[in-house]
Amino acid sequence: MTASATRPVPLPARAGLGLKAEHYQTILADLPDVGFFEIHAENYMGAGGPPHRYLQAITEHYPLSLHGVGLSIGAARGLDKAHLTRLRSLLDRYRPQSFSEHLAWSTHDTGFLNDLLPLPYTEETLARVVDHVDETQQALGRQLLLENPSTYMLFAESTIDEVDFLATIAQRTGCGLLLDVNNVMVSAVNHRLDAATYIDRFPVEFVGEIHLAGYDETVDPAGDRLLIDAHATAVKSDVLALYKHTLARTGSLPTLIEWDNNVPDFATLYSEAKRVDAMLAAETFRRGGRRIRAA
């Protein structure tokens, strides 16, 4: 990580929620006890208007996590300089405690694909992602957290294990990692792998934030389970069990509950946050009151 790519003050080791427009007024009226809120960067790249007025008011009371979905950090083409400029402007405006992006690609030539697409784990891809992470951190002047993907297919070309791929990126660039536990469960079930083994091998020393979400379930043409990273329900019990297993390795870390589709009322989201806060408190108690943070 370059000297200009600083690590901001970290988020509290609490449960956080995605900030939704339908909940702005409830949050400002009630000031619920939530550890932090997360926004998707691309939803706030306009110059002004009600979203910014509400966000400014909410960030006066809560820490903020900024999550990008459009950087296309794994794309074969170069990064979009205009997008990086807009990201830098947003980061400078709100000074969030965390900024994260996906290990994925969503651009091709001059087009943009409305999806987060997987990458083959090869030396060529690794070199490209490392260059793009370096460029991003230099342009933004701060550390990036890179999120592990949810996947539905494996590439025959891959020669590097996903955990090793992520660890190498972090080692070479100084970036942090965002460990999405729901993504681990989705990928493990889809590829007939063991999710706990993935967590046991994950380089937790680089983890600065954790994500949880609800998945949808169907079957593939062979009749086997197929999980979809849908973010449309409460966190499933098996993901919460895997999260507990994860906390035993990481200690208590800021944890976002993602619920981006079929968004419920705020009371339902708040109950999810309280459930996760209780798990974080239990892990802290288990460690004798000592919270663990990534370096």
Q: Each residue of 209-233: pLDDT tens digit?
A: 999 999 999 998 889 999 999 999 9
pLDDT of residue 294: 39
pLDDT average, residue stretch 183-195 = 97
Confidence tier at 9 by pLDDT (50, 70, 90): confident
Q: Domains along the chain?
A: 15-286 (3.20.20.150)
Pick the range with the lowest mean pLDDT from 30-34, 50-54, 71-75, 233-237: 71-75
| Mean pLDDT, the chain, integer | 92
* pLDDT for residue 145: 98
Dist. CA 247–CA 173, nearest whole Å: 25
3-state SS string over 63-97? Answer: CEEEECCCCCCCCCCCCCHHHHHHHHHHHHHHCCC
| Helix spans in 95-219 (H) | 123-140, 162-173, 181-190, 195-201
pLDDT band of residue 77 (cuts 50, 70, 90) is confident
Task: State both tokens at 252.
Answer: 């208590």
State how far the Cα of 52 lies from the Cα of 60, in Å rounded to an integer. Answer: 12
Among 42-46, 85-89, 248-252, the least confident range: 42-46
**CA 249 vs CA 46, 199, 200, 204, 277: distances in Å:** 40, 8, 8, 7, 17
Nearest to 140 by CA among 68, 89, 66, 72: 89
Residue-level pLDDT at 234 = 98
What are 144-163's pLDDT values in tens digits?
A: 999 999 998 888 898 999 99
Cα Rg of the chain (Å, integer)? 18
3-state SS, residue 108: strand
User: Which two tokens mark 283?
Assistant: 């892990």
Helix axes 81-94, 123-140, angle to 10 degrees: 50
pLDDT digits (tens, 9 = 90+) for 227-272: 999 999 999 999 999 999 999 999 999 999 999 999 999 999 999 9
The answer, as to whether pTM is greater than 0.85, is yes
Neighbour-count burial of 189, counting CB atoms closer than 10 A to its CB (0-12 exposed, 13-18 middle, 19+ buried): middle
Q: Which two tokens stand for residue 40?
A: 């998707």
Strand 225-228 to 216-219 pairing: antiparallel
For residue 235, give the DSSP letter: P
The pLDDT value given to residue 76: 85
CA quadruple 89, 13, 262, 226: dihedral, nearest 10 = 110
Q: Which one is predicted more confidently, 104 or 246?
A: 246
